[in-house]
Amino acid sequence: MRNHQATIIDIAKTLNLSKSTVSRALTGHPNVKAKTRERVLEMADQLDYQRNQLAISLLTNRTQTIGIMVPEFLSPFFPRVIIGAQDVLAQAGYNVIICHSNESYATEIVNARLLLASRVDGILVSHTKDTRNFEHFKIFERKGIPVVFFNRIVDELDVSKVAVDDYEGAYRAVEHLINTGKRRIAHLSGPDSLLNSRDRLNGYRDALTDNQIPIDPALIISYDLTLDKANIYVNHLLNLPQPPDALFAINDPTAIEALKVIKNRGLRIPDDIAIVGFSDDPVSALIEPGLTTVAQPVDDIGRQAARLLLNQLAAEEDRPASELVVLPTRLIIRGSTSSAPLPGNPY
């Protein structure tokens, strides 16, 4: 059974004060006699009083709560982003509600409604791979609730965004493969609905073209990020009449799945086929061989996104112009592309 939760009225009654005075004492208003404040504080403590944030939020139209929407958080990427964001937001006095949509567009819409009903003051979003309509985010904009996209960002919304330089990261990765002598470089790409997926694909293409390597459409496979599909596609690539001598994967989980398949088939990595991933998930340093990968500043993505949101929140009057932050990536070379790791390489 739910017990009665102490309210300022309870404190007021016991102390023979008005609730106004109690409220003032509790919030640190100057116009309260020191003695009175002391008595109020003591009684509040004694009654296990906790201010009811709901009532305050209803009054002020501010919940001090930020919603974070991510497509999943089983892989280590999004939890790390969330931790970074939460750190910055907590410092500014904001709480956080986390929603994960499990890569489902329908769930994402439900979650958006939920955050709207919870009256969050702003949201941080990385959309699902199936999201092509962004109407449910525009509602926030119309209501003046700031939205910041991160990692998976969208052109068609005029909001602040944080991304990494996916094009550049992909370009450098493929360039590295070319430098190690690879020529038939396959790309296991993500769905076309994701901008970062398209950017990485473009980086891959341009790196090949700039190095006079023709693009072979048979070596480019776009898939929906479901790992068992990755398995199928890697096998498909290896069964080609002219199989690839290198694979650039859209992300680390995909690369690791590929690595497993390739090892199972008894091929040598990187001699028969080299592999590069994207993100530098912690696993990538632990597996054998270590996975060469494009590292993203994961924490920073969250921190920056939170800061952009705070910028929007700070503006009392009309919304400040939206900002775009693009963070750099860093190629980390490990055994999956280089049998003799460079000396001095910290990995």
Partner DNA sequence: CTGTTAGCGCTTTCAT
Partner DNA sequence: ATGAAAGCGCTAACAG
Instruction: Say which entry of a second copy, DNA, none residue 212 contacts (CB below 5 to 8 A, set by partner kind).
Output: none
Give, for 150, the enclosing helix (H) or strand (E): strand 147-150
Give, for 56, the enclosing helix (H) or strand (E): helix 53-60
The mark string for 94-133 relative to a second copy (x by CB under 8 A, - otherwise) is -xxxx-x------------xx-xxxx--------------
User: Which of the ranges 48-56, 90-98, 246-254, 303-311 carries the binding residues for DNA, by CB under 7 A?
Assistant: 48-56
Between residues 57 and 222, which has the closer beta carbon with respect to a second copy? 57
Instruction: Say which entry of a second copy, DNA, none residue 339 contacts (CB below 5 to 8 A, set by partner kind).
Output: none
26, burial (CB in 10 Å: exposed 0-12, middle 13-18, buried 19+): middle
Preceding peptide of 270 cis, ω within 30° = yes
Q: Nearest approach, Cβ of 122 to DNA (angstroms)?
A: 18
Q: Which long-range contacts (CB under 8 A, 24 or more apart) does 91-96 make?
A: 92/310, 93/64, 94/64, 94/65, 94/66, 94/121, 95/64, 95/65, 95/66, 96/65, 96/66, 96/67, 96/68
118 binds DNA per the rule CB under 7 A: no
264, burial (CB in 10 Å: exposed 0-12, middle 13-18, buried 19+): exposed
Residue (of 119, 206, 127) closest to 169 by Cα position: 206
Binding-site size for a second copy (CB under 8 A) equals 50
18 binds DNA per the rule CB under 7 A: yes
Q: Nearest approach, Cβ of 282 to a second copy (angstroms)?
A: 8
Q: Nearest approach, Cβ of 47 to DNA (angstroms)?
A: 11
3-state SS, residue 97? strand
Pick from 59, 286, 340, 342 the residue near DNA by CB under 7 A: 59
How big is the chain, counted in residues? Answer: 347
181, burial (CB in 10 Å: exposed 0-12, middle 13-18, buried 19+): exposed
| CA 57/CA 233 separation, integer angstroms | 51
Pick from 21, 86, 131, 304 the residue near a second copy by CB under 8 A: 86
The one-letter code for the residue type at 212 is Q
Q: Nearest approach, Cβ of 212 to a second copy (angstroms)?
A: 37
Pick from 1, 2, 3, 34 the residue near DNA by CB under 7 A: 34
Which residues contact a second copy by CB under 8 A? 1-3, 5, 48, 50-55, 57-58, 61, 63, 73-74, 76, 79-80, 83, 86, 95-98, 100, 113-114, 116-119, 139, 142-145, 256, 260, 282-283, 286-288, 315-319
Residues that bind DNA (CB under 7 A): 5, 7-9, 16-21, 23-24, 26-27, 30-34, 36, 49, 51-52, 55-56, 58-61
